[in-house]
Amino acid sequence: MRPNDRIQHTPARRGGLAGIRQRHGNRCARPASGCKCPWQAEVYSTRDGKKIRKLFPTKGAARDWRNDATTAVRRRIMGAPTSTTLREAAKAWLEGARAGVIRPRSGEPYKPAAIRHHERGLRLRVLPEPGDRRLTEVEREELQRFVDDLVARGKSAALIDATLLPVRAIYRHALRSPSTGVVVNPTAGLELPAANGRRERVAAPGECASLLAALPDEDRALWATAMYTGLRRGELQALRIEDVDLKAGVIRVRRGWDQYAGEIKTKTGRERTVPIPSELRAPLAEHLLALGWREGLIFGVSAVSPFVPSTVRLRADRAWAKAKLAPITLHECRHTYASLMIDAMRERGGVNAKTLSS
């Protein structure tokens, strides 16, 4: 609006709707009726001592919002908007996630690695642009343009989805707090690119044996445990000698590992017991016998220092290249385990998918 423009308000007519009026600029040709000037709806929040106002292109949209807002204010699920920016909200959300006060939908605390990924995505991609906008001012159209720009820059569907995860979580948290003034989640309904990632590699039973036979002796038990128990990489790193009971034929998975935080809870927050199949017993027993320490980590560079995944992967890739075998990752070994278990359970007449995914 130019400096010499002024706003004229068309008051509600007798018998009309209170709290709704049309805002006309000084240059409006038809201030009385029929123009396209916006409609303003407002409600008063007694708790905040402030009016909540919003503009709409039509009188009907303003009326509908005011009806909903009046109810929301009365029920204390809506309040006057604050000056909190997306950057400030993100900082508070990260602090709450680190403290364990803010949690994902599972109810379990965020893992340190997940918080680091969210912080990085926010810092590098989200906050440089809309970060200084008020939390209540960020709109779906703006976020859609943000997504479209990432697509145009060649970013993968997985990266885009990971970038939006903390933004979704920030707004879910804000919606539960009336003091933020957030009543609409702008992350809802966004059109995201379809994930067209490659399928995870799964090794067949005979191939597993060939892959393991080609490995250096020092690494064979680690990869065999990954293939035949489905432990996650962090769980393999944190596995201790006392967690393995060869006599009972089980491994007790009690903890995971984070490269910065050290020992952490498992992904589900619960301990579980995994059977030791016949294919694993021999290499695992040989590895335990060859260890130079009586307690501590099984697959560590020492009793207290876990293996470095990139180093282990490099040695394995070299061995498999020499044997002319297709490489596999520790994460893909988990998928291989699930496939082996499904095949085995089918032979026995059933499979429990929930058990396999724990």
- Do 86-180 and 205-356 fold alike per CATH? no
Which two tokens mark 203? Answer: 């090794």
Assess contact for 57 and 41: CB atoms under 8 A: no
Q: What is the pLDDT along the chain (358 residues), one digit of tens a residue?
A: 334 433 344 444 433 467 898 887 777 766 555 677 888 998 888 776 778 888 888 888 889 888 888 887 787 666 666 778 999 999 999 999 999 999 988 888 899 999 999 999 999 999 987 788 888 888 888 899 999 999 999 888 889 999 999 999 999 998 887 677 777 788 988 998 887 655 678 898 889 999 999 999 999 999 999 999 999 999 999 999 999 999 999 999 999 999 888 999 888 888 999 999 999 999 999 999 998 778 899 999 998 999 999 999 999 999 999 999 999 999 999 989 988 887 666 665 554 444 444 5
Q: Which superfamily does 205-356 belong to?
A: Intergrase catalytic core (1.10.443.10)
Residue 268 one-letter amino acid: T
Output the CA torsion sign for 133, 136, 137, 142: positive
CATH code of the region 86-180: 1.10.150.130
Q: What is the rounded CA–CA span in Å between residue 84 and residue 82?
A: 5
Q: What is the rounded CA–CA span in Å between residue 334 and residue 230?
A: 4
Sorted by where each begins, the domain ranges of the chain are 8-74, 86-180, 205-356
